[in-house]
Amino acid sequence: MNPIEQFEQEVEGNIRRLGDDPALKGAALDWMSGVAGGKYSYNFSWLGRPIIQFPQDMVAMQELIWRVRPDLVIEAGIAHGGSLILSASMLALLDYCDAVEQGGAFDPRASRRRVLGLDIDIRAHNREAIARHPLAHKIDMLQGSSIDPAVIAEVHRRAEGYQRIMVVLDSNHTHEHVLAELEAYAPLTSRGSYCVVFDTLVEDLAPHLSADRPWGKGNNPKTAVWAYLEGLQDKPARGVDGANLRFEIDRRIEAKLQITVAPDGYLKRI
């Protein structure tokens, strides 16, 4: 075994042990419950735009985008635009790395890779700041509810012709809404790619932490993921590529992160 393989094997062992440790899981949940009240996830930015995520999940997105190499990332939930900029920056790096590998000149505007963001309310100051960002040329935005049939149809139309699509759901976190988003957009996820559902953590947190929200224990993205996966088992469906639509929860990601807002939310299309 070469040193690289040996290192990777060690890391896999670490991840397995960390993931199997109930005391650590409890400690992580205590910590996440503690910071949830303090709105910890609002503390960060990505290349200058505020992003409402945990740093651990940002690293997971970096690893996923590098591994999957999507040509389209569809994101429901824009807010200040930080997550769109994160995805766009990763797509731009993929473009750059492709150019280096192919020995050609790097033309930032030549690539097809794009991010498509959806939000029911794209505030003017956020829209302007995103439009002014150097990565704006990789971003398209649609205003409307992500479960509005006209928005869904438009997203499907724009996704036509893309080969490797990743989906990220981070908008309204009620069970009903996320389930409808999964029905609408999960079929666009390419095989080997991911549909990432954020804020599944709501199910694991104490109810008082979401008391002022329309979601809470029993009514949140995690319950929607469970219902969606159960539904696919009962009634198999096909993706837009015509192949069987099957997902598995990638628990290796939450085992490695330990701290994540998306337990059971990293769905890999298999």
Ligand X SMILES: C[S@@+](CC[C@H](N)C(=O)[O-])C[C@H]1O[C@@H](n2cnc3c(N)ncnc32)[C@H](O)[C@@H]1O
Binding residues for ligand X (CB under 6 A): 51-53, 76-80, 82-83, 118-121, 145-146, 170-172
Per-position DSSP letters for 110-134, written without gaps between them: T---EEEEEES---HHHHHHHHHST
Q: CB nearer to ligand X: give 215 or 228.
A: 215
Q: What is the smallest separation between the CB atom of 122 and ligand X, expressed in angstroms?
A: 8
What single DSSP character describes residue 219? B
Q: What is the smallest separation between the CB atom of 54 and ligand X, expressed in angstroms?
A: 10
Confirm if 107 and 84 have CB atoms less than 8 A apart.
Answer: no
Q: What is the smallest separation between the CB atom of 53 and ligand X, expressed in angstroms?
A: 5
DSSP helix/strand/coil, 214? coil
DSSP helix/strand/coil, 17? helix
Q: What's the CA gap between 165 and 207, in Å, rounded?
A: 34
Give the phi and the psi of residue 247 in degrees, each rounded to 5: -125, 150
Confirm if 248 and 266 have CB atoms less than 8 A apart.
Answer: no
Q: What is the smallest separation between the CB atom of 126 and ligand X, expressed in angstroms?
A: 8
Q: CB nearer to ligand X: give 74 or 92.
A: 74
Q: What is the smallest separation between the CB atom of 60 and ligand X, expressed in angstroms?
A: 13
What single DSSP character describes residue 217? T
Q: CB nearer to ligand X: give 92 or 151.
A: 151
Q: CB nearer to ligand X: give 123 or 270.
A: 123
Q: What is the smallest separation between the CB atom of 131 and ligand X, expressed in angstroms?
A: 16
Q: What is the smallest separation between the CB atom of 221 and ligand X, expressed in angstroms?
A: 11
User: Strands (DSSP E) along the chain, which ranges?
Assistant: 44-46, 49-51, 72-76, 114-119, 139-143, 165-169, 194-197, 247-249, 266-269
In the chain, what is the straight-line distance between the N-terminal and C-terminal CA atoms, in Å? 29
Confirm if 179 and 229 have CB atoms less than 8 A apart.
Answer: no
Q: CB nearer to ligand X: give 99 or 120.
A: 120
Q: CB nearer to ligand X: give 146 or 193.
A: 146
Q: CB nearer to ligand X: give 24 or 120.
A: 120
